[in-house]
Amino acid sequence: MLSETDPQVFKIVKEEEKRQQEKLSLIPSENFFSSSVREAVGSVFMHKYAEGNIGKRYYEGNQFVDQLEMLTQARARTAFKLPDDWGVNVQALAGSNANLSVYLALLNVRDTIMGMYLPDGGHLSHGWSYEPKKVQNPNELVYFGGSSRVNITSKIFCTVQYKTNPKTQLFDYDEIEKIAIEHKPKLIITGGTAYPREINYKRMKQIAEKVGAYYMADIAHEAGLIAAGVNSSPIGIADVVTMTTHKTLRSARGALIFANAELIKKINRAVLPGLQGGPFNHSIAGICVGLGEATKPEFKEYAQQVVKNAQKIAAELQKYDFKIVSGGTDKHLVLIDLSNKPLLGKKFARALDYAGIVANMNTMPQETRSPTDPSALRIGTPWITTRGMKEQEMEIIAKWINNVMDICAEWKDLKFDEFEEKIANNDKINKISSEVKELCIKYPLKI
């Protein structure tokens, strides 16, 4: 037993277990897996090396790994309603790895890729770079990055990024088309980490076709909502679809890549031997179990409730004069513009954590501040919905969020360390933390 063989690690595990049980996770990229998923991830599949593909392994003893991958692929086909001429890769270790595999398969070095501007909700793996200490003009609708190429994609490829409309904070498809026509990218990408609205995949595919580009839809965040039919699907529309499996899909940590039969062969070779060796069989086992769960009626009910909860908490926060980016959400996430409030993202996220509510600071459209001290807060409902919470609880949580802002407003001008000292032992913050814990006890995680 771990408690006997390594009490130090056991103690850390138990402390994390307690944290998850007693706090509310509102981070939209996090979720809580079923005991079955966790059992599969912790299974003997973690012992086996399985470099290669089904029926073509470089090591012996992979009969059951082959069975596991075939079952995972079959469940992925069912969950996402794949066309007959599409295939799926289940071996990529994470979402960024999956995206890089697609680039390696379809592009050449210094080709141009076009993705969403990171502060507006895009992702690092879509070609991010920036110019340090330079404040960007929020009204410029196209961005070319800078000398700090923080992600490998911007080191290898030429990148151009489109922004959301400054007035609506939504995709401006006509403007995206103009940018694509001017810069003629080889690959156009949609998806990201903080865009709360549905994407018109057919329109994006039309733009890509007009300039002779591939179109990749990265649905890492909304994958579970798409599998459940709550959000629209790019499967069969985009040339390639990538996703992580641990967010709204509520499966183990990993990634899936979908494409037609011709492209998936290239992508398979890019995954192996292009970027990685042996897959994580134990993670694939967990993904397989999660995909099985995602095809059941109760998962659709869950996904529907995730969106209802997100829309409800957004509406409740608006009653407290919180500005919601784009005016609402179609998904599981809500982006809160705090520019009209005393506290911005960094301080507010820390204050909420002391109150038992876990969220994350985030950039937002027309952001002028640093990503390390941004203007917004990002929250989401996958985890708290997994706990069984519904609209009534969203009202309570929104009230707590507002109370934390009111309590901490008087310390808004303090340096961060001084601010944290003030909230660390504040009686009012501690009271909210106790109330949060009481709510969590009513909706326990099934550990």
Q: Which residues contact 18 (CB under 8 A, 6 or more apart)?
A: none
Q: Other C-beta atoms within 10 Å of 354: how many?
A: 18
Active site residues: 49, 51, 218, 244, 247, 253
- Please state the three-class secondary structure of the chain as a single string: CHHHHCHHHHHHHHHHHHHHHHCEECCCCCCCCCHHHHHHHCCHHHHCCCCEECCEECCCCCHHHHHHHHHHHHHHHHHCCCCCCEEEECCCCCHHHHHHHHHHHHCCCCCEEEEECHHHCCCHHHCCCECCCCCCCCCCCEECCCCECCCHHHHHCEEEEECECCCCCCECHHHHHHHHHHHCCCEEEECCCCCCCCCCHHHHHHHHHHHCCEEEEECCCCHHHHHCCCCCCCCCCCCEEEEECCCCCCCCCCEEEEEEHHHHHHHHHHHHHHHCCCCCHHHHHHHHHHHHHHCCHHHHHHHHHHHHHHHHHHHHHHHCCCEEHHHCCCCCEEEEECCCCCCCHHHHHHHHHHCCEECEEECCCCCCCCCCCCCEEEEECHHHHHCCCCHHHHHHHHHHHHHHHHHHHHHCCCCHHHHHHHHHCCHHHHHHHHHHHHHHHHCCCCC
CA separation for the pair 249, 290 (Å, rounded): 7
